[in-house]
Chain A
Amino acid sequence: MSNNLIDFQKMSKKRIHIMYSFLVIFVAIIIIQLFLLQIINYNTYKNAALKSQLKQYQIPAERGLIYIEGGNGSQVPIVLDQKLYTLYADPSFIKSNAAANKIAKKIAPIFNANPGQLTSLMETKNTRYIVLGNKLSQAQSQKILSYQIPGIGTQGQDYRVYPEGQLAAQVLGFVNQNGVGEYGIEQAMNKQLAGTPGQVKAVTDASGVPLAANSKNVEIAPKNGDSLVLTLNLGMQSQLEKILAKEYTATKSQGLSAIVMNPYNGHIKAMANFPTFNPANYQDVSNQKIFQNAAVDDDIEPGSTMKIMTTAAALNLGVIKPNTSFYDPAQWTIDGFTIHDIKIDGGAREQNIQSILALSLNTGATWMLMQMGGGQIDRQGINNWYEYMVNHYRLGQVTGIEQGYEAPGFVPPPNMADPSIDLRYANTSFGQGVQLTALQMAAADSSILNGGTYYKPTLIAKTIYPNGQTKVNPPKVLERNVVKPVVGQEMVPLMEGVVKAYLYGGFSFMNFPSNYIVGGKTGTAQLAQPGGGYYKNIFNGTYAGFVGGKNVQYVVVVYNIKPAVPGYAGSYGAQPVFADIVHMLINQGYVTPR
């Protein structure tokens, strides 16, 4: 073998060894690098990768819907959800006036917009987001998007929709732009209606689309909100609102509220106030007080409608009978002040329980309070009356109805440091110095007329869960033995007597068919002045009554705030509203005749 050949072989081997060594080193470097990347710095890179790939999305829960009773057991939706679209433009994509004009002419007819306005909006400087239109339908949105105009887009958002317009607006409330219920049932039941949003944590691609098959993905499904079926009756509610709108003008009222309640289960069948608003356009309302359900949120001194409770308490204590007579001196002097009747009905003379109610004798109510004690206004009488107001009729505390901002009212505590406590309590017997909402009055009078059971007033008849299951809301008893059943029976003819007295007194609208029972009581309340005392010429009118056939079927309460009527606010401001409501209930067949 020649030396050359041996050298060549050696050289080849050497070259191969060198190349092999390079290769080994190269592979070793890669392995080391991989080791560093995947073992040593594993967590760092994993976290960095996840940070850019793993995205978290909230899946909004669908808000529950609201239905009301439509008659014959049907349910009518009055609050629905609908996805509507906001049309926006990014002006940086629209380069010239001509381009903006061209786009405006193309899209304006789709949602009945003014092309000129759209053009000027699209020419807005120093912004990349300008809203061109709100609440576009899905079809409108899709049509605009189909043009694929650079810089024009739509964004979907769920809105509450009200097919019945402003029906029961203050009972419903509304949902604000953050998806939170405000006022009414939307506020009180917000948690239950809203449900719980779900969550998606997913590894996504560069454009943010979740990649389904990844062990890092976490998906928690949203829990949709419950839907509610209200106790309100569609026809009754609608008619009630029409009556209030008419009487608001007729009585030149500053605010009118009314409630129709079933006294045997606490169900509110109709509840309305005037003025009202359209919840679909709540943002256009400047006076926020209109959002409040005044029948629940506004407590006022009710005036003589309180005498229903005073009479029932005295009857229940056994200190009077329905036919008890007494000598009415026509005025009482208590703590240096004189209580006299707002109506002068012949001065001092023999009176009875029926005439106390029919003539609305403040001296008569004061006399009943005296009978609750030792024949005069004393500690025993005050304590007894306080016990009835607070622990029997549940005044001075919220009823717990499913409404936002419910007012508790006010009952003066008997031990309050007031040198005129006797006078104060004498006033409460005829509805001054004590504050009640229309709802508190309806619930308390219901507890008397149904024979002594105080049901929690409620607006919810049923709950419909997202899985379709339904739960009926059972009546909730808050107080038993408010009065004895016989007292409820005794109060019916006494209150009927008041209606008849007005009819015979010339109030022809208080004429009701003889196969129905209708009873009630007017109230004309003076308004307290901020500095003490009462205004001389401003009054609130109230009315509490019932209608039924064989038995009492509905309790109706009306509050008319500062009506400008030629007479007592109760008789001329609230009583006509009560009459209209009762006529409506009878004529529409809501009351079963005897």
Chain B
Amino acid sequence: MTYSSSLALNRNRYMTKNKNSVSFNVSRPKIGPISNTILLVVLGCLLGLLYLTQVTKTDTYGYQLNSLQVQQQQLETQKQNLEVSSAQLQALNTVQSSKVSKVMTAVTPSAVVPN
């Protein structure tokens, strides 16, 4: 049996008397069980991919947030360091040993009156 004869045989199954054979040739597309399963799997994969995209998207925000928090901590540390430097520069010992105070002269208080 050739390929064309098998096709003819196939067509014959739908042939009956007084009917236009052309109309029998219009066959509706059918999805077999394998295709069905594959389609389902593909669909499932797509859904999974979509889910993963969303999850990793929120996790990316997590990394961004973490990075910002680290930056905030660094800035706070810098602020702390500046406050310490400021306090050290204004400390009594620093002021006393400064060039300006070294050239100052002590003044005897005029308010001290002997009894």
Instruction: Say yes or no: A211 contacts B1, CB within 8 Å.
Output: no
Interface residue? B63 (CB, 8 A): yes
| Complex interface: chain A residues within 8 A of B66 (CB) | 209-210, 212
Given contacts A23-B37, A82-B80, contact A209 B87 (CB under 8 A): no
Q: What's the nearest-Cβ distance from chain A to residue B86, in Å?
A: 9
| Complex interface: chain B residues within 8 A of A156 (CB) | 77
Q: What's the nearest-Cβ distance from chain B to residue A83, in Å?
A: 5
Q: Which of A27, A214, A513 contacts B113 (CB 8 A)?
A: A513
Q: Which of B37, B63, B92, B115 contacts A167 (CB 8 A)?
A: B92
Query: Which chain B residues (58-94) contact chain A, with CB distance < 8 Å?
Result: 58-59, 61-63, 65-66, 77-78, 80-81, 83-84, 87-88, 90-93
Interface residue? B9 (CB, 8 A): yes
Given contacts A80-B87, A513-B113, contact A137 B62 (CB under 8 A): no
Instruction: Say yes or no: A19 contacts B77, CB within 8 Å.
Output: no
Interface residue? A177 (CB, 8 A): no
Q: What's the nearest-Cβ distance from chain B to residue A213, in Å?
A: 4
Query: Which chain B residues (1-43) contact chain A, with CB distance < 8 Å?
Result: 1, 6, 9, 32-34, 37
Q: Which of A5, A209, A211 contacts B9 (CB 8 A)?
A: A5
Instruction: Say yes or no: B112 contacts A77, CB within 8 Å.
Output: no
B89 to A, closest residue via Cβ: A163
Interface residue? A283 (CB, 8 A): no
| Complex interface: chain B residues within 8 A of A503 (CB) | 115
Interface residue? A256 (CB, 8 A): no
A516 to B, closest residue via Cβ: B111
Alpha-carbon gap, A593 to B63, bound state (A): 66
Instruction: Say yes or no: A586 contacts B112, CB within 8 Å.
Output: yes
Instruction: Say yes or no: B62 contacts A211, CB within 8 Å.
Output: yes
Instruction: Say yes or no: B84 contacts A163, CB within 8 Å.
Output: yes
Interface residue? A1 (CB, 8 A): yes
Instruction: Say yes or no: A5 contacts B113, CB within 8 Å.
Output: no
Interface residue? A81 (CB, 8 A): yes
Q: What's the nearest-Cβ distance from chain A to residue B6, in Å?
A: 7
Interface residue? A76 (CB, 8 A): yes
Instruction: Say yes or no: B59 contacts A513, CB within 8 Å.
Output: no
| Complex interface: chain A residues within 8 A of B83 (CB) | 77, 80
Given contacts A19-B34, A20-B33, A587-B111, contact A164 B92 (CB under 8 A): yes
| Complex interface: chain B residues within 8 A of A209 (CB) | 62-63, 66
Q: What's the nearest-Cβ distance from chain B to residue A501, in Å?
A: 13
Q: Which of A165, A211, A515 contacts B91 (CB 8 A)?
A: A165
Flag A149-183 by CB within 8 Å of B: 1 or 0 each. Answer: 00000001000010111010000000000000000
Instruction: Say yes or no: A163 contacts B115, CB within 8 Å.
Output: no
Instruction: Say yes or no: B65 contacts A212, CB within 8 Å.
Output: yes
Interface residue? A238 (CB, 8 A): yes
| Complex interface: chain B residues within 8 A of A23 (CB) | 33-34, 37
Interface residue? A18 (CB, 8 A): no
Instruction: Say yes or no: B114 contacts A511, CB within 8 Å.
Output: yes
Q: What's the nearest-Cβ distance from chain A to residue B10, in Å?
A: 10
Interface residue? A117 (CB, 8 A): no
B63 to A, closest residue via Cβ: A209
| Complex interface: chain B residues within 8 A of A80 (CB) | 80, 83-84, 87
Q: What's the nearest-Cβ distance from chain A to residue B34, in Å?
A: 7
Q: What's the nearest-Cβ distance from chain B to residue A574, in Å?
A: 22
A26 to B, closest residue via Cβ: B37
Instruction: Say yes or no: A514 contacts B91, CB within 8 Å.
Output: no
Q: Which of A19, A82, A213, A512 contacts B62 (CB 8 A)?
A: A213
**Can you list 8 contacts pairing A with B, beta carbon distance less than 8 Å?**
A23-B37, A27-B37, A161-B84, A163-B84, A213-B59, A511-B114, A513-B112, A593-B111
Chain A residues close to B by CB (< 8 Å): 1-2, 4-5, 16, 19-20, 23, 27, 76-77, 80-83, 137-138, 156, 161, 163-165, 167, 205, 209-214, 234, 238, 503, 511-515, 583, 586-587, 593
Q: Which 5 pairs from chain A and chain B are nearest by CB?
A: A212-B62, A213-B58, A163-B87, A211-B62, A587-B109
Given contacts A165-B93, A209-B62, 6 further A-B pairs with CB under 8 A are A16-B34, A81-B80, A161-B87, A212-B66, A512-B115, A586-B112
